[in-house]
Structure formats: structure tokens, C-alpha cells
Structure 1
Amino acid sequence: MTDQSLSKTPAIAEPRSTSMLSMLWRDKLAFCSAVVLLLIVLCALLGPALLGDLATSQNLRGRNSPPFDLARGWAFFLGGDSLGRPMLARLIVAARSTMMVAAGAVVAALAVGALLGLVAGYMGKTTSQVIMRLADVIMSFPSLLIAVVVLYVLGPSIPNMILVLAITRIPIYLRTTRAEVLEVRERMFVQAAVVMGASHWRIIARHILPVVAPTLVTIATLDFAFVMLAESSLSFLGIGIQPPDITWGLMVSQGRPYLTTAWWLALWPGVCIVITTLALNLLSNWMRIALDPAQRWRLEARSTKDE
């Protein structure tokens, strides 16, 4: 009797783990954003090698040629600039400098800010106060003003641009990391590691950092769009990247005098900036849920329901 009743008892379905790629595929907006960003990264990596000469070759007969005119070739599908250079090739080549500045600034700010935040959150009160006062000093000045002053003194270049943008973004990661560490260090698994005699750096690297990392990655994805917009603003003001290097912000600045006669000179790089920023914002919103164990079940349940 007992065996029969047990045999009729329905088996409890074990929860299935859903991969990140599967959850990304189910969220169409996030998936499209990831595809767009992948295409932009490929353009940044391969564009200068394939189209570098075409983007810099001048043809005064085709200056300010209108878009969607294939008579001059596929490279002039988006028109030509004031020196007859194809806009499509220049947009692809400019993606490299734009992505290089944004990625370099975000990675540098993330590394320095996370390290200082881990130390400030885990070590004693004196060390924390010194580090936080440093962050307050940086945040007391407007970031754009710091960038203008530093670039005016050091000169506009890609390394200087990365340096100044990274400095202005360090407090964001520092304060976020410190707040996370203050909460994580009181959990039971960290206290157990302390009791077992683990060193401070081992506890930080093996127990605290993996818990804090998803939050930092989400912030970095969102901050990438902000840094790219800041670089575009500085290039538009004329103190950012200078020719012969090109960025989307510099192209917008160069096309400003021709807004009434050749609107496409400023429109297409502006569209690239908007599309990239929008894709980063959508992807960061998805990553915020996917990397949070407390909210990831929403995406997993959606994936299981669709199957």
C-alpha cells in the first residue's frame, strides 16, 4: 500500500538553470542591443585596416555630395564631407577612436575605483576616511570643467582624453564598491573566512569581490555611454581629439557649419552616437537583472515559459 501510494506521487520537477545566452535571446531588445554593439566593435577593430585609406582620400569634386547617391560608389551611400571624403568610411573608421577612448576611460576608472573602494570598505575607519575625502575632492569639481582645464594644459590627445575622463569617473566606482563591501563583509561566509584565519587580501579577492563584481559590471556598461557622450562633447567644443584622428564627436563639430547646406555631415555621426548610447542603456538594464541573483529568476522564468 505504501509502495503504491509512493509510486503515484508526482515527481517534483527539478529547476533548470538557464544560460545567459538563452536569457539574452528571449529578451529581444537586449539581444538587438548586443548585436548592434558587436557590429560597432567589429567596425572599430577592422575598419581602420580595411577603410583607412578610403576614409582619408580627398576628392574635391565630390565635396558635400548628397547621401543615397550610388553614382560615386557604395562608400558615398551616406554622402561625402566638405573635402569629398566618404562619410560611410569615415564613420566606420571613427568608431575605433571613439570606442578606444570610452573603453580605456571606463576600464581605468573601474580598476582604480574598485581597488580603492575595496580597501576603503574593508580596512579601518582612518583609511576609509582618507580615501573618501579624496573622492569628495574629485567630485567637488564639475567633471567637464576638469576635462577642459586638463586638456587645455596637457593638450588634446587620446591618452590625455582617457586620463582625464577616467579621473572624473573614479568616485562613481569607489563609492559604489565601498557601499557594497560594507554590507558584504558582515555576511556569515566572510565572518567564517575570518575565523578560519584567511588573510585580508584573500578574503577580498575570493569572497567579497565576486559578490561586488556584477554591480560594477552593470555600472561600467551604463557609464560607457556617459563617457562616450563626454568625449563627443569635448570633441565638439574643439578640445578633444584633433585631426588627423577622427571621432564621431569631432565629425559632428566639423559638420556644424554646414547644417543648412549639408545636414548629413553632422546627422550621421550624431545618429551613431545615439544608437550606441541607446544600445548600451538597454543592455545595461538587462545585465542589471541578469547578474543579480535576487532578480535573475524573472528572466529564467520567462525563458522557461517560452520553451
Structure 2
Amino acid sequence: MTPEITLAPPKRKRAPSAPLLLLRDPMTALALGYLILIALVAILGPMFMADLAAKPNFRARNLAPFTLEQGWAFVLGADTLGRSLLARLVVAARTTLGIAVCAVMCSLVLGGLLGLVAGYGRGWLSAAILRVTDIVMSFPSLLLALIVLYSLGPSVLNLVIVLAVTRIPIYLRTTRAEVLEVRQRMFVSAAEALGASDTRIIFRHIAPIVIPTLLTIGAIDFATVVLAESSLSFLGLGVQAPAFTWGSMVATGRGYLANAWWIAFWPGLAILLTTLSLNILSSWWRTYSDPHQRWRLELPRGGRGTKEKRS
């Protein structure tokens, strides 16, 4: 008898992990590194540089950058009161990013919950939620923020509330669209046939599928909120003195662009780099989270064009 020969199934090539794919893209890795650095600076920096950010030094008024006459803390120059711009950038990072994080988290949670209700239910409550959303979206977000802040007065709490309310419709409509598609799937019908409650179906079966999409939108929207907060602070309707943000620092330095450009340049550069890094990282994450587009990241460098030609 001839022995039976069994062929082992071919080994499937293991897909690269997310950190490895991220390190393959130098621009995305650089953006992530910058965001990690700015987050650490915002968390830890004010503990060491808060005094320098508030203490005036009239001998260093409008001190030019890259001079160490007053010490390393003045390497980026000083403002009109001789305060270290490096220290003020570090302290302002906590305020700017803290406002953006609170606004994005509030709008994501509230918009996601309302979107789950509006997408799964089909009664008067769903219709009422959609009508209120249409009313909010009919106003330009920045104009609505200006009206509310002018009426209630500028403060950190009012700024967070305004930014969160103006961003809720984005998460609500996205969640509702996802829920309308997911509720038609077989596992939802099976859960309904087994007698599962609506709350269990929404939070146990539908919400885990919707959350990754909301996180992707949140990463993209974070950059928009940072720009909106900077714009409102630049117009004088954001954080009020003695607190300050990157946007208010730009507003302070706009009158000295001719003879002290660095007062407005460094906070403007911080806003630019932060929003650019967020957009780069969110674009990479959007490609990675889509199974139909992930192959673009798995290609070796230089082989992307060949693959696109073959497809």
C-alpha cells in the first residue's frame, strides 16, 4: 500500500501590524511623534514653566528669538511685557488642547447617543431629533458660536459648550446613517427574534460597529475644533485674560508684526503644525480602518504605483 501523502495548507502571510505600517510612512510617523510630544508638553510643561509664562521682564521686552541673553527659556523670544514665548506656548498648549478635547468628547458622546436613538427608532422622538439637528445645521457654526458667546459672555465653559453643540450634528448624522445600515443585518434580526430588548441591541450589537467610525471622525474634527477655538480667541470671544490660548497669543502679536513678528509667528506655527499633524494621522487611520483600502498601506515603498496600474 502506498502511504497517503497529505499536503499542508499554504501558510498565509501575516498582515503587518498597525505600528509597523505606521512606521513605514515617514510623514505619518513624524505627525504622530509631534502629537505625542505636544501632548506631553501640554500635560507636564505647565508644572515647570507656569511662572515664566506670567512673570513680566521689562528688560526682555520684544526680545528677538534665538538669543540666550536672558536664558534658555527665551530662545523663542519674548512678548511686549518680556514674558517668555516658549513658556507661554507650553502653558497655552494645555488650554487649547484641553478645550478641544472636552468639546470633541462631549459632541462625540451626545451626537453618538442621539444618532443611535434616531437611527434605530422610527417614532416621533427620532423625527424631533432630526428636526432640531436641521435647525442647528442651518446656521454657520462660527456665526452661531459668535452669537452665543456674545450673548452669554466669553468663558472656558461657554466656549466648550458652543463648540460641542455646533459639532453634534456631524456625529449624529453619521451615527444615524451607520445604524440604518447595520440594523438590516442578519445578527440584529436574530437578536430581535430572540427577544432582546432595544437597549441591548443598540449598545451590545450596533454601537461596537459604529464606534470606530466615530473615532475616525473625532480625530478629523479635533483639528477643526482647534482652529475654531483659535479663531474665537483671536476675535476676543474665547478665553479671557489672564488665561490665554494660542489663538489669543496670535491676536496679541498681530499689532507688532512689523517690528516683532515672532510674537504672533510661534503660536500660529503651533496651530498649523498641530492641525496638519492631526489631518495626516486621521487620513492614515481612515485608510487603515477600511479593509478595502488597507492594501495601500501594506505595499512596500516604491511598489504602490505598480499595484494601482495592475488594478
Same fold (TM over 0.5): yes
Q: How do 1:1-307 and structure 2 match up within 5 A?
A: 3=3, 6=5, 9=7, 11-300=9-298, 302=300
One-letter code aligned to 1:170: I
**Pairs aligned (count):** 303
Greater mean alpha carbon deviation, residues 12-21 or residues 205-214: 12-21
- After superposition, the C-alpha distances for 1:177-200 in whole angstroms (9 at most, x for unaligned) are 000110011011211221222111
Range with greater deviation from structure 2 (9-18 or 147-156):
9-18
Structure number with the higher helix fraction is: 1
The alpha-carbon deviation at position 301 of structure 1 amounts to 5.3
Cα 1:293/1:202, change in 2 over 3 Å: farther
Moved more, 289-298 or 262-271: 289-298
**1:163 CA displacement:** 0.4
Q: Name the TM-score, length of structure 2 as normaliser.
A: 0.92
Q: Which amino acid aligns with 1:23?
A: L
Deviation at 1:232, TM superposition (A): 0.4
TM-score in terms of structure 1 length: 0.93
Encode CA deviations 1:258-302: one digit per residue, 9 max, x unaligned.
Answer: 010100011100000000000000000011122223333443455
Q: Give the stretch that moved more between structures: 39-48 or 109-118.
A: 39-48
Indicate the SS of the match to 1:213: helix
Name the SS of the counterpart of 2:263 in structure 1: helix
Distance between the aligned counterparts of 1:196 and 1:238, measured in 2?
A: 57
In 1, distance between residues paired with 2:51 and 2:21?
41
Q: 1:207 to 1:13 in 2, by over 3 A?
A: same
Q: Deviations over 1:227-258 (max 9, x none)?
A: 00000000111111111111000000000000
The range that moved more, 98-107 or 145-154, is: 145-154
Higher mean C-alpha deviation, range 175-184 or range 124-133: 124-133
Two-structure CA RMSD over aligned residues (Å)? 1.9
In structure 2, the CA distance between the partners of 1:2 and 1:167, relative to structure 1 (3 Å rule), is farther
Q: Which runs of 5+ in 2 are unaligned?
A: 304-311
Identity %: 57
User: Greater shift after overlay, 154-163 or 75-84?
Assistant: 154-163
